[in-house]
Chain A
Amino acid sequence: GENVEQHPSTLSVQEGDSAVIKCTYSDSASNYFPWYKQELGKGPQLIIDIRSNVGEKKDQRIAVTLNKTAKHFSLHITETQPEDSAVYFCAASKQGGADGLTFGKGTHLIIQP
């Protein structure tokens, strides 16, 4: 089955700096790649997603890039703010949607004031 590796497990950045979280996947048939943000004491929430026919997608301060050849995708957060502190999960699916999602192990992003 699919295997999703996520790095780093913990990332500490200064407020205002950029943060990058990277994921690799094993199944070349995967075609849907969402990113979820989990705040303390809450369930994960979708923040951005990308499909395999697109190389990059942006939404204000967050962006996701996809390299299908390398089976690699990344989350970029610019101008980080204290409210960006959370655990972030990447995931991959070959069913094209929520069904069959395999999640990475998560990255704890800490924004230092």
Chain B
Amino acid sequence: EAQVTQNPRYLITVTGKKLTVTCSQNMNHEYMSWYRQDPGLGLRQIYYSMNVEVTDKGDVPEGYKVSRKEKRNFPLILESPSPNQTSLYFCASSPGQNTGELFFGEGSRLTVL
């Protein structure tokens, strides 16, 4: 089944404790992206990647890192999480930069205390 898989789906952590949210897609998509969803703010892009070893900042990159060592994986790293990073995070992928549809994962709800 074609899908984007995120882990963990739910996480409660404390300020400053490094964490990684993994994202994997099995559709051989070139483009991958991370979004955060907050009430009243919609979906905001954190980072994106056009292909392996190519990453770039989105609209809200502060406090996050990403890597794209393999085509299928695009982990989101929070080196020192803070409470303002409490959010619902979505990973998404698309076949290519000019192809419209984004395929989203089911989301990872992160709470930073």
Contact = CB atoms under 8 A, between A and B. Distances in A.
Contacts of B44: 103
Interface in B92-113: 92, 94, 96-102, 104-107
A21 B42 CA distance: 15
B43 A46 contact: no
Contact of A49 (B59, B100, B104): B100
A113 interface: no
Interface string A72-99: 0000000000000000010000011111
Contacts of A46: 100-102
B35 to A, nearest CB: 8
A98 B102 contact: yes
Contacts of A34: 100-102
Chain A interface, DSSP helix/strand/loop, else mixed: loop
A99 B104 contact: no
B50 to A, nearest CB: 7
Contact of A104 (B42, B48, B50, B100): B42
A98 B43 contact: no
Nearest to B32: A98
B7 interface: no
Interface in A1-57: 1, 6, 9, 32, 34, 36, 41-46, 49
Interface of B: 4, 31, 33, 35, 40-45, 48, 50, 59, 90, 92, 94, 96-102, 104-107
